[in-house]
């Protein structure tokens, strides 16, 4: 069994897509490949076929391997609930909420669990491609590390270091990262990849020669900036916007926005302009306003009121669509009966587009779903606390255990709300919603493409660019 680890000089250096590229290349070469990231911090999560929660980056990487995403690919997931606390999810199930200090003390106890999961993966695959988090040179966090060099030690893996040249300072970031490592850690760094380069590579030659002489590690690739319709990193830096089309969709950028990957599919529609509204004024020309998911629905609902969004959405003449927490906000009231988000008994009035009342209580529902909405086939997943009662006109039918479960609510042609994440990935459903707007604006109807099909094309494109610009044969040699 072979393995290689990808670490970065900083967050958003391109680790996730580098792992995805290597996963697709090794898969194309005939190997059974698995991605792995011991710990993720992200509000973008996914539910696998067993109903277990995991980070979205490993979902994309699993697709690159042409296998189903599974929670063991990301055994520890941290989902921030406030600026100081996160929900800790272990092997797809919520464990407890912890602040940073509590988790820092707790995580050392996770090493044996991570080692056990990783060893099971080794038994079933030819190659494991491991992703780090942030930077391995965060010297204040190196004690009890389980995701960077600590993980490299668990797996006994060599490391590729990825650096982002697009933001400037690439050689300083490579040198600084390397020099802050311990001697044993430096020995694991076997190659550097310079990522997101724009321009003539010949201009880099002297800089590459200098950095190689300083750290005695080869630069094994310079990857050009690639415009891909793929999810990149896990953080909010990946929120994608486009201003190309006549149909204007505004997603409200909630302070605790979660699963904003729900809207990436709109990037495939040529006549759609997708933006993320930070002020109520940003909504004024929107044809569709979307209220996304939230990790703290009551607090984000209060934020909507404080920032003037509440009245702007109430007065909107077009379509308003809510997903998960956004759907809950569109109802009459949200009641935190058991103190899951704020405190026991806390409540807040919603937009009252629907009569539904949401009670935050009981177990978290995590479920992969298939079904139909507005007559179109859909696939997606649910991740939510609580239950919404008194729905008047559900528009989603979910097939579950050979039964039909109704979901969501709607005022046809005006308001739509659902718990199903990923509903817009269905080209047929997205097309139906967009054609409502096109008809109203006197535009010609269009056909929307399924996001899954486009993802495959983009992953092959990513792999081809890496093959052309990275020494893949060298990477095969350094894999242990």
Asked, for residue 57, whether it belongs to a domain, the answer is yes
Asked, for residue 242, whether it belongs to a domain, the answer is no
For residues 205 and 297, membership in a common domain is answered with no
For residues 226 and 286, membership in a common domain is answered with no
Asked, for residue 291, whether it belongs to a domain, the answer is yes
For residues 326 and 211, membership in a common domain is answered with no
Helix axes 56-64, 15-28, angle to 10 degrees: 20
Sequence-ordered list of residues with C-beta below 8 angstroms from that of 154, at least 6 positions apart, any chain:
38, 111, 114, 115, 118, 146
pLDDT tens digits, one per residue of 46-68: 999 999 999 999 999 999 999 99
Helix axes 205-215, 170-179, angle to 10 degrees: 10
For residues 225 and 84, membership in a common domain is answered with yes
Q: Read off the DSSP letter of residue 421.
A: B
For residues 135 and 282, membership in a common domain is answered with no
Asked, for residue 236, whether it belongs to a domain, the answer is no
Predicted local distance difference test score (pLDDT) of residue 229: 81
What is the spatial distance between Cα 248 and Cα 227, in angstroms, rounded to a whole number? Answer: 21
For residues 329 and 397, membership in a common domain is answered with yes
Asked, for residue 165, whether it belongs to a domain, the answer is yes
Catalytic positions? 324, 421
- Residue-range definition of the domain harbouring residue 222: 2-231+456-478
Are the C-beta atoms of 91 and 120 separated by less than 8 Å?
no
For residues 21 and 134, membership in a common domain is answered with yes
Strand order in the sheet with 396-400: 376-384, 365-373, 396-400, 403-407
**CA 76 to mean position of chain CA atoms:** 15
Predicted local distance difference test score (pLDDT) of residue 236: 40
Asked, for residue 449, whether it belongs to a domain, the answer is no
Question: Left, alpha or beta for 92 (phi > 0: left; psi -120 to 50: alpha)?
Answer: left
Predicted local distance difference test score (pLDDT) of residue 364: 84
> Would you call 118 helix, strand, or coil by DSSP?
helix
For residues 18 and 82, membership in a common domain is answered with yes
Asked, for residue 131, whether it belongs to a domain, the answer is yes
For residues 295 and 200, membership in a common domain is answered with no
What is the spatial distance between Cα 151 and Cα 200, in angstroms, rounded to a whole number? Answer: 36
Q: Which among 79, 81, 144 has a CA at the least distance from the CA of 107?
A: 144
| CATH number of 415's domain | 3.40.50.880
For residues 251 and 357, membership in a common domain is answered with yes
| CATH number of 463's domain | 3.40.50.300
CA distances to 87, 290, 305, 430, 467 from 253, in Å: 21, 10, 14, 21, 37
What is the spatial distance between Cα 207 and Cα 204, in angstroms, rounded to a whole number? Answer: 5
Predicted local distance difference test score (pLDDT) of residue 85: 86
Asked, for residue 450, whether it belongs to a domain, the answer is no
Burial status of residue 473 (CB atoms within 10 A of its CB: 0-12, 13-18, 19 or more):
exposed
For residues 315 and 355, membership in a common domain is answered with yes
Predicted local distance difference test score (pLDDT) of residue 232: 58
Q: Which residues of the chain have pLDDT under 70?
A: 232-240, 243
pTM over 0.85: yes
**CA 60 to mean position of chain CA atoms:** 9
For residues 121 and 163, membership in a common domain is answered with yes
**CA 292 to mean position of chain CA atoms:** 14
Are the C-beta atoms of 81 and 87 separated by less than 8 Å?
yes
What is the spatial distance between Cα 70 and Cα 50, in angstroms, rounded to a whole number? Answer: 8
Predicted local distance difference test score (pLDDT) of residue 240: 65
Secondary structure element (H or E) that encloses residue 324, with its range: none
**CA 40 to mean position of chain CA atoms:** 10
Question: How many structural domains comprise the chain?
Answer: 2
């Amino acid at each position: 069994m072979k393995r290689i680890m990808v670490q970065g000089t900083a967050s958003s250096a391109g680790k996730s897509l580098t792992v995805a590229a290597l996963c697709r290349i090794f898969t194309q070469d005939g190997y059974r490949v698995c991605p792995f990231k011991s710990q993720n911090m992200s509000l973008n999560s996914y539910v696998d076929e067993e109903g277990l929660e995991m980070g979205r980056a490993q979902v994309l990487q699993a697709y690159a391997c042409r296998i189903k995403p599974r929670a063991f690919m990301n055994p520890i997931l941290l989902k921030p609930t406030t600026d100081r606390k996160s929900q800790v999810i272990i092997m797809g199930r919520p464990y407890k909420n912890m602040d940073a200090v509590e988790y820092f003390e707790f995580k050392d106890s996770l090493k044996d669990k991570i080692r056990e999961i990783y060893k099971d993966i080794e038994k079933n695959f030819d190659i494991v491609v491991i992703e780090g988090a942030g930077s391995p040179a965060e010297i204040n966090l190196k004690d009890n590390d389980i995701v960077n060099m600590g993980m490299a030690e668990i797996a006994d893996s060599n490391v590729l270091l990825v650096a982002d040249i697009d933001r400037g300072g690439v050689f300083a970031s490579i040198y600084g990262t390397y020099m802050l490592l311990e001697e044993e850690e430096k020995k694991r760094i076997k190659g550097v990849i310079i990522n997101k380069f724009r321009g003539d590579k010949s201009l880099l030659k002297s800089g590459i020669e200098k950095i190689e002489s300083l750290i005695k590690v080869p630069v094994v690739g310079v990857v050009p900036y690639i415009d891909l319709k793929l999810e990149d990193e896990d953080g909010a830096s990946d929120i994608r916007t486009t201003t190309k089309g006549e149909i204007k969709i505004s997603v409200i950028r909630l302070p605790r926005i979660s699963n904003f990957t729900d809207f990436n599919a709109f990037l495939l529609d040529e006549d759609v302009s997708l933006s993320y509204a930070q002020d109520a004024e940003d909504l004024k020309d929107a044809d569709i306003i979307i209220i996304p998911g939230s990790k703290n629905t009551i607090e984000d609902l209060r934020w909507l009121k404080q920032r003037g969004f509440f009245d702007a959405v109430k007065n909107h003449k077009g379509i308003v669509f809510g997903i998960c927490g956004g759907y809950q906000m569109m109802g009459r009231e949200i009641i935190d009966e058991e103190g899951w988000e704020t405190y026991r008994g806390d409540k807040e009035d919603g937009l009252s587009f629907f009569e539904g009342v949401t009670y935050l209580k009981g177990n978290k529902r995590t479920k992969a779903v298939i079904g139909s909405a507005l007559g179109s086939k859909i696939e997606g997943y649910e991740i939510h606390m609580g239950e919404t009662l008194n729905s008047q006109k559900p528009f989603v039918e979910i097939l579950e255990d050979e039964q039909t479960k109704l979901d969501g609510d709607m005022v046809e042609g005006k308001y739509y709300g659902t718990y199903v994440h990923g509903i817009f990935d269905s080209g047929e459903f997205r097309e139906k919603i967009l054609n409502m707007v096109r008809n109203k604006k006197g535009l010609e109807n269009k056909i929307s493409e399924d996001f899954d099909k486009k993802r495959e094309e983009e992953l092959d494109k990513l792999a081809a660019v890496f093959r052309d610009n990275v020494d893949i044969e060298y990477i095969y040699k350094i894999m242990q």
